[in-house]
Structure 1
Amino acid sequence: MNKKMLPIKTFKPLLFLLFTLALFACSSNNDSNQEDSEEITTTKEKLVGDWKLISSTIDNKNVSPSEFKCLKNSTATFNQDGTYELTFLKLGSGSANLCSQTNTQSGTYTVIGLNRVTFFNFNSEIKLMDDTLQITSKIINGDQEQDQVDTFIRNDNTELEESTEEESDNVETEVGDDNEEDNTFDGTQVIQQILGSWKIDSDQDCLQKNTIEFKPQNVFEFIQHKKSFNRRDLLDYNVSVSYPLPESIKATVTKGNDMVVFDTSAECQFTKTSTLEYTVKDEKTIVLKNISGLKMLLEDNQTIKLIYTFIDSDSNEQVREFIYKKQ
C-alpha cells in the first residue's frame, strides 16, 4: 500500500512555521545571552578598582572610635584579570597604640550576573550592593559569635571628597613634634594683656561664633564652628556611620587635644574645641606649642591677628589671616 504524501500546498506553510519558530528560539536565546553579557560587563566595571572602608558594625552597632581609628584605613582592590586583595588594619598589642595588625586576604572572583559575584579563597560573605561592597565576617568575642559587617565605597566616591565649604576658614590644630626653640623672653606683661576671651571679627554665618581664650598656666582654648560636615570630616575623627549618610547624626569625639561635636540638628553642625599650650615669643608674638603654621600677633590691647599658614591640595603655600577682638 502506498503511503499518502502531504500536498505541497500544506507542506510549505508547515515548513515555514517550523523555520519561524526556530528563528524565534535562536533570537530569544541570543537576546538572553546578550542581556546576561551586558549585566556581567556592567557589574565588573562597577567592581574593578580601589575601595575604602567607611563603616563597620558588630551585631548592627557601630564600632567605637578607638577601633575604627585603624579599621577605616582598610582597603579592597579588584583587578580586571579576576583577582582581588583585601587588607584590614587593626590596633596592635602593646603601648605603641599603632595600627600594626594587618590581615590581608587575596584570591579570585567571577561575575555571574548583575551585582552577583562569587569569590574563591575567602570564608566571609561578600555582597556588591548598589554603590557599596559589604563584607560580613564571624568574630568571636569571649564565648559569643558575632557578625561584623564592613562597608566599602569606591575611592572616587563623592562622599570622600574634601569639603570646600568654609575650607579656607578651617584652621588645623593637630599637634606635631616638639620642635619649639628655647624661649628666654619674659612674657609676663604680655600675658596680663591677653588673658581672657576674644571673638573673631566676622559676619559670616558660623564663622562669627569662633573664639579664642588665653587662660592661666599658658592654657589656650580655640573654638571653631562650621555650617556643615561631610563623610571626610567623620572619617578624620574616626566616626563610623552608614552609607549613604543618615539624615540625623549626633556624635562627640575626643581626638588628641581636640573635642569635636557633630550634630545635624544644630545651626552650626560642626564644632571643634582645641585645648593647647601657648608661648609668648616677644612683646607682639604668641605661638602655640607644637603647632606649626599658626601664630598670633598682638596688634593692640583689643586686637589680635591670627595668621594661619598651610599647604593646599596643589602643594601651594596659602596664608589666611583672622582678626579677633577682646570681649
Structure 2
Amino acid sequence: MIRIKTHKSILCILFSLTLFSCDSDSNPENNEQVSQEVLVTKEKLVGNWKLVSSTIDNKNVSPSEFECLKNSTATFNQDDTYEVTFLKLGSNSTTLCSRTVTQSGTYTVVGLNRVTFFNFDSEIELIDDTLQITSKVANGNEQQDQIDIFIRSDNSELGENQEETDNVETDNQTDEDNNDDTFDGTEVIQNILGKWKIDSDKDCLQKNTIEFKPQSIFEFIQHKKTFNRRDLLDYNVSVSYPLPESINATIIKGNSTVVFDTSAECQFIKTSTLEYIVKDEKTIALKNISGVKLLLENNNTIKLIYTFIDSNANEQVREFVYRKL
C-alpha cells in the first residue's frame, strides 16, 4: 500500500510540474499580447474628445438641452489622469449654460478597449472610435439611461464643410454702428423692394435669394448641397455617430429657420428674417448683424459683401452679386 501511494504521489507531482511548465511557456506570449492591446487602447484614448450626441432612454435630447451639452469635453492624459466636463442648463434659465459638472481622476487600461476608471460614477466604454458615457438621470420616480457619445476633437466629421465659404452667417452677431438709421432712405427703399437672386451657376448656391420687404424686413434664403456634423452642432441637433443615412430636421434658432434633409436636392436650407437699414444712397446694412454689407450698384444689381474671420484667425472677404427678379 505504501509503495502504491508513493507511486501515485510521484505521478501527481510530475503532472503538476508539466502543467506549470506549459503555463510558464505560454505566459510570455500572453503577456506580450496584453501589453500590445494596452498600448493600442491607450494610444486611442489619450487626447481631447468632444460630445456630439446625447440620448435619454434612446431618444435624442431636445435642441435647447443639447445647446449646452454639445460643449462638453473629455481629456485623457498620458500620465493616466482624465477629466470629463459636462455643460448643462442652469436651473433658473433655459438659455444660459451655467451648470458645470466635472469628473476627474485616474484610469487604468486593462486590455483592448477595456479601461478601469476611478472617481467616476458613470459607466464608460470605448466602442470603435467613440467614447460612450452612460449615466443615470431621474425622470419622476424612474431612473433613465443617458448616453453621451464623444469623438476625438480632430475627427473628420468635425472638419470644415467645403461649401462653408459660400454660407453667410447671420446668427448671434451684433454691430452697434448698423443701428444708425438717421438717413432718409425712402427713395432707395422704393428701388430695392422685391426679390433678388444670386448670380451664380453653382449647384444649390444659385438658388439663394434675398428679399427686401416693407417695414424694413429682409429675408435671406441660403442653400447648400450637403451638410456635416459641425452644421448640426451649430444648430444643436443631436444625432448618432456616425451620421445616419437619413436625417430630416427643422430647427428654429434666433432669427433663422434651418432645414436639414438628406433626401433633398439641397440638403441644407437656411431662411433668416432680419431688419435692414439704408445707410446712404448706395449702402444697406443689416440691423445687429456684423460683417454683412450690401452695396446698390444700380437699380438691378446689389453686391453682398461678407467679412469674417476664418479658422486660422485671418480676415476673409467674400462677395456675391444679386440681380433683381
User: Does the pair score TM above 0.5?
Assistant: yes
Which whole-Å deviations, capped at 9, do the CAs of 1:262-305 have from their partners, x for residues lacking one? 00000000111111000001111100011111111111111111
Q: Give 1:20-31 correspondences, 5 Å limit.
A: 26-31=24-29
Q: Give 1:1-327 correspondences, 5 Å limit.
A: 26-95=24-93, 97-163=95-161, 165-177=162-174, 179-180=176-177, 182-327=180-325
Report the CA distance between 1:25 and its aligned residue.
Answer: 5.1
Report the CA distance between 1:20 and its aligned residue.
Answer: 11
Which whole-Å deviations, capped at 9, do the CAs of 1:170-217 have from their partners, x for residues lacking one? 111123235125332100111111111100011111000000000111
Q: What 5-or-longer segments of structure 1 have no aligned partner?
A: 1-18
> How far apart, in 2, do the equivalents of 1:96 and 1:273 lie?
24
Q: What 5-or-longer segments of structure 2 have no aligned partner?
A: 1-16
Which whole-Å deviations, capped at 9, do the CAs of 1:131-155 have from their partners, x for residues lacking one? 0111111111122211100001111
Which AA in structure 2 matches 1:174? D
Task: Identify if the C-alpha distance between structure 1 residues 220 and 88 changes in structure 2 by more than 3 Å, giving closer, same or farther.
Answer: same
Which whole-Å deviations, capped at 9, do the CAs of 1:74-95 have from their partners, x for residues lacking one? 1111111221111111011335
SS at match of 1:184: coil
Which whole-Å deviations, capped at 9, do the CAs of 1:91-147 have from their partners, x for residues lacking one? 113358310101111122111110011111212111111101111111111222111
> How far apart, in 2, do the equivalents of 1:192 and 1:224 lie?
24
Q: Could you tell which deviates more after superposition, 116-125 or 258-267?
A: 116-125
TM-score for both structures, normalised by structure 1: 0.90
Report the CA distance between 1:28 and its aligned residue.
Answer: 2.4
> How far apart, in 2, do the equivalents of 1:140 and 1:96 lie?
19
Which whole-Å deviations, capped at 9, do the CAs of 1:9-56 have from their partners, x for residues lacking one? xxxxxxxxxx99988654422111100100011101111111111000
Report the CA distance between 1:307 and its aligned residue.
Answer: 1.0
Report the CA distance between 1:167 and its aligned residue.
Answer: 2.3
TM-score for both structures, normalised by structure 2: 0.91
> How far apart, in 2, do the equivalents of 1:96 and 1:158 lie?
31
- Tell me which residue corresponds to 2:13: none
SS at match of 1:319: strand
Report the CA distance between 1:229 and its aligned residue.
Answer: 0.5
Equivalent pair of 2:80/2:106 in contact (CA under 8 Å): yes
SS at match of 2:290: coil
SS at match of 2:204: helix
> How far apart, in 2, do the equivalents of 1:61 and 1:119 lie?
27
Equivalent pair of 2:64/2:94 in contact (CA under 8 Å): no
Task: Identify if the C-alpha distance between structure 1 residues 201 and 177 changes in structure 2 by more than 3 Å, giving closer, same or farther.
Answer: closer
SS at match of 1:205: coil
- Tell me which residue corresponds to 1:13: none
Which AA in structure 2 matches 1:111? V
Which AA in structure 1 matches 2:165? S
Equivalent pair of 2:180/2:279 in contact (CA under 8 Å): no
> How far apart, in 1, do the equivalents of 2:318 and 2:174 lie?
23
Which AA in structure 2 matches 1:171? V
Task: Identify if the C-alpha distance between structure 1 residues 76 and 194 changes in structure 2 by more than 3 Å, giving closer, same or farther.
Answer: same
> How far apart, in 2, do the equivalents of 1:104 and 1:168 lie?
36
SS at match of 1:57: strand
Give the number of aligned pairs.
310
